[in-house]
Amino acid sequence: MKYQINIEGGFTGIPKQFEGEVKLDKNKEREMLDAVAEKREDHSHLRDGFTYTVKFTGDDGVYESQFGESNLPSSIRSFITDIQKSNG
C-alpha cells in the first residue's frame, strides 16, 4: 500500500511530508483504509493545532482524508509514529 502524509500547522508551522510504500497484512490494511474512509467531525475552525492529510493508495483505490489533532484515529496516529521512527 502506498501512503502520502502531510502534517501542517503547530507552533512552528513547519510542514512535514512522508511518502512511500509499506507492506501490511490484509487486516491492518483494511483497518487503515476504513479509518480514512470514515466521515469525521469538522474541526477546521481550530487554530495552532496540527492538520494531517492522509492518502492511501491500495488495491481497492485511493483513500484520502484530513484530520485534526482531536479527531485523528488512533490507528492512523500509530502508523504515523511508526513511519516517523523508520525515517529517523
Residue 39: the pLDDT is 67
Give the domain extent around 42.
2-86
- Is 0.85 topped by the overall pTM? no
pLDDT, tens digit, for every residue of 3-57?
Answer: 999 999 877 778 999 999 999 899 998 898 888 887 666 555 555 688 999 999 9
The domain total for the chain is 1
Task: Quickly tell me which residue has 469538522 as its cell.
Answer: 42
